[in-house]
């Protein structure tokens, strides 16, 4: 039985599954996607060619309007632009990172006839070509897919991973405010909306804890993550520091003990959002989620740490300024208290004049969002 880490979390009462949390073994060499192209063959057949650096290990599923090709052990930083012949049957190809495998969703213009084994080939490298996974197919009626072909399986739509996007603060709680009057609640909402659009386009299922200027308690945000069965929770914030020269992003995961004094101060400040609502604060203190089993807490912490450090690398690679200090810090953030792994990202400092300007700018928001999207695509949703 193979379980996703989410499923493991749900079943973690069963001692037998503890083994799932052993450190992952080293991977075989990673495959990489070189190109995707289509052409038209005699007999009006469409040929779809997926070129890969190593011999591809793949599965194919297809339905009336889609073919889904999963290639194991493959990650891509950037989507490969597909070269599609205008009279071929392929309309578009979406690339979705699904843990360690890359899923190609091939959208078709017409229903295709069932593929036989001789219509599927893996060609050895030659000349300028690497390995090529080749599918030849023609329009037709799907009929009943043969069960004797091991590599062809009935369609099960690729599971969409659920990302919960939490724009910090909102409503009566402005968050921190820059010297120029920029409010944290506004810049994080604008950035969160961009993140939602890009993640939707990349094939994720997304929920925003707030999509307008409304006030939500921290526990309510965490509850929404549970309710929507989130696979990953991303809380967006912007920081302030008494010293106006301090700048850069920083990333935090949940722990009961802060990694440093600064992280604790920040958690206090962010958690204080609930103190605005007196009755809400009462409730927060007896939050039932503290009753999570230690096994669940351990799994969530491990997955959160893994995501947070990859997100940090991704932002650094995009040359976003980083606040000096450790790559991932830890503190008891109320909003992260759930069974959904996640991180709180302080996108930059509104107290710094240069960053206040940047955080307001659409270009910079896009830069941050692109880096975060990359880190989510690279996140290993399944063990
Ligand atoms: Zn904040």
Query: What's the gap in Å between 166 CA and the centre of ligand 1?
Result: 11
Residue at 12 is within a domain: no
pLDDT higher than 80, residue 64: no
pLDDT higher than 50, residue 154: no
Is the domain of 355 the same as that of 222?
yes
pLDDT higher than 80, residue 73: yes
Among 14-18, 171-175, 244-248, 373-377, which is the least confidently predicted range? 14-18
Is the domain of 96 the same as that of 233?
no
pLDDT higher than 70, residue 121: yes
Query: What's the gap in Å between 163 CA and the centre of ligand 1?
Result: 19
Q: What is the pLDDT of residue 293?
A: 52
In the predicted model, what is the mean pLDDT of residues 20-41?
Answer: 65
State the pLDDT confidence band at 260, using cuts at 50, 70 and 90: confident
Is the domain of 64 the same as that of 129?
yes
Is the domain of 132 the same as that of 187?
no
Query: What's the gap in Å between 344 CA and the centre of ligand 1?
Result: 9
Query: What's the gap in Å between 197 CA and the centre of ligand 1?
Result: 22
Is the domain of 206 the same as that of 79?
no
* Overall number of domains in the chain: 2
CA–CA distances in Å: residue 8 to residues 48, 92, 228, 339, 382? 37, 34, 17, 11, 10
Query: What's the gap in Å between 373 CA and the centre of ligand 1?
Result: 20
Token digits for 212? 């307008």
Structural domain ending residue among the three candidates 128, 153, 178: 153
Query: What's the gap in Å between 239 CA and the centre of ligand 1?
Result: 6
Is the domain of 123 the same as that of 185?
no
CATH number where 57 lies: 2.60.40.3500
d(CA 132, CA 39) in angstroms, rounded, equals 14
Token digits for 152? 């062809």
Contact 354, 280 (CB under 8 A): no
Query: What's the gap in Å between 225 CA and the centre of ligand 1?
Result: 18
Is the domain of 104 the same as that of 172?
no
Query: What's the gap in Å between 3 CA and the centre of ligand 1?
Result: 35
Query: What's the gap in Å between 289 CA and the centre of ligand 1?
Result: 21
Is the domain of 297 the same as that of 346?
yes
Query: What's the gap in Å between 219 CA and the centre of ligand 1?
Result: 15
Query: What's the gap in Å between 173 CA and the centre of ligand 1?
Result: 10
Q: Higher model confidence: residue 145 or residue 21?
A: 145
Query: What's the gap in Å between 141 CA and the centre of ligand 1?
Result: 55
Is the domain of 278 the same as that of 345?
yes
Domain containing 89: what range? 33-153
User: pLDDT averaged over the chain?
Assistant: 81
CATH number where 266 lies: 3.40.630.40
Return the DSSP state at 83.
Answer: B
Query: What's the gap in Å between 123 CA and the centre of ligand 1?
Result: 53
d(CA 158, CA 4) in angstroms, rounded, equals 13
Query: What's the gap in Å between 241 CA and the centre of ligand 1?
Result: 12
Query: What's the gap in Å between 347 CA and the centre of ligand 1?
Result: 10
Query: What's the gap in Å between 28 CA and the centre of ligand 1?
Result: 41
Highest-confidence segment of 42-56, 135-149, 239-253: 239-253
Contact 231, 164 (CB under 8 A): no
Return the DSSP state at 93.
Answer: E
CA–CA distances in Å: residue 94 to residues 108, 356, 366? 12, 35, 21
Q: What is the pLDDT of residue 275?
A: 60
State the pLDDT confidence band at 382, using cuts at 50, 70 and 90: low
Among 2-11, 58-67, 332-341, which is the least confidently predicted range? 2-11
Query: What's the gap in Å between 380 CA and the centre of ligand 1?
Result: 27
Query: What's the gap in Å between 139 CA and the centre of ligand 1?
Result: 54
Query: What's the gap in Å between 204 CA and the centre of ligand 1?
Result: 25
Token digits for 211? 């999509």
d(CA 29, CA 87) in angstroms, rounded, equals 36
Query: What's the gap in Å between 272 CA and the centre of ligand 1?
Result: 10
Main-chain dihedrals φ then ψ at residue 207, nearest 5 degrees: -130, 140
In the predicted model, what is the mean pLDDT of residues 170-180?
Answer: 94
Neighbours of 30 (CB within 10 A): 12
State the pLDDT confidence band at 68, using cuts at 50, 70 and 90: confident
Is the domain of 147 the same as that of 173?
no
Is the domain of 278 the same as that of 343?
yes
pLDDT higher than 70, residue 10: no
Is the domain of 56 the same as that of 108?
yes
Q: What is the pLDDT of residue 159?
A: 67
In the predicted model, what is the mean pLDDT of residues 148-156?
Answer: 38
Among 72-81, 97-106, 127-136, which is the least confidently predicted range? 72-81
Query: What's the gap in Å between 199 CA and the centre of ligand 1?
Result: 22
In the predicted model, what is the mean pLDDT of residues 292-320?
Answer: 84
Query: What's the gap in Å between 271 CA and the centre of ligand 1?
Result: 9
Q: What is the pLDDT of residue 258?
A: 82
Query: What's the gap in Å between 175 CA and the centre of ligand 1?
Result: 5
Query: What's the gap in Å between 238 CA and the centre of ligand 1?
Result: 6
Main-chain dihedrals φ then ψ at residue 379, nearest 5 degrees: -70, 135
Query: What's the gap in Å between 89 CA and the centre of ligand 1?
Result: 49
Pick from 323, 321, 308: which is nearest to 372 by CA? 308
Query: Which residue shows structure tokens 């799932």?
Result: 20
């Amino acid at each position: 039985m193979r379980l996703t880490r989410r499923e493991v979390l749900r079943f973690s009462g069963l001692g037998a599954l503890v083994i799932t949390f052993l450190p992952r073994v080293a991977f075989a060499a990673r495959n990489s996607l070189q190109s995707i192209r289509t052409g038209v063959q005699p007999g009006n057949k469409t040929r779809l060619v997926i070129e890969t650096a190593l011999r591809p290990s793949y599965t194919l599923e297809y339905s009336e309007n889609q073919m889904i090709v999963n290639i194991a052990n493959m990650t891509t930083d950037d989507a490969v632009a597909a070269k599609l012949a205008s009279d071929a049957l392929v309309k578009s190809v979406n690339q979705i990172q699904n843990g360690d495998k890359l899923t190609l969703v091939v959208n078709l213009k017409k229903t295709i006839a069932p593929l036989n084994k001789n219509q599927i080939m893996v060609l050895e490298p030659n000349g300028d070509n690497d390995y090529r996974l080749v599918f030849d197919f023609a329009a037709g009626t799907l009929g009943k897919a043969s069960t004797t072909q091991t590599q062809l399986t009935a369609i099960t739509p690729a599971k969409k991973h659920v990302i919960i996007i939490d724009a910090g603060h909102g409503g009566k709680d402005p968050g921190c405010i820059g010297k120029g009057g920029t409010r944290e609640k506004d810049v994080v909402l604008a950035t969160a909306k961009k993140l939602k659009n890009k993640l939707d386009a990349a094939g994720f299922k997304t929920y925003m804890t707030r999509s307008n200027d409304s006030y939500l308690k921290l526990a309510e945000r965490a509850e929404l993550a549970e309710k929507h069965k989130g696979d990953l929770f991303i809380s967006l914030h912007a920081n302030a520091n008494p010293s106006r020269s301090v700048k850069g992003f920083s990333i935090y995961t949940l722990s009961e003990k802060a990694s440093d004094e600064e992280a604790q101060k920040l958690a206090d400040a962010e958690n204080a959002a609930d103190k605005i609502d007196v009755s809400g604060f009462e409730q927060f203190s007896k939050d039932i989620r503290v009753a999570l089993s230690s096994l669940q807490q351990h799994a969530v912490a491990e997955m959160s740490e893994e995501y947070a450090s990859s997100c940090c690398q991704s932002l650094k690679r995009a040359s976003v300024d980083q606040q000096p200090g450790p790559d991932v810090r830890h503190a008891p953030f109320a909003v992260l208290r759930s069974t959904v792994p996640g991180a709180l990202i302080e996108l930059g400092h509104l107290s710094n004049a240069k960053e206040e300007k940047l955080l307001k700018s659409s270009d910079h928001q896009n830069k941050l969002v692109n880096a975060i999207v990359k880190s989510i695509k690279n996140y290993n949703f399944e063990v």
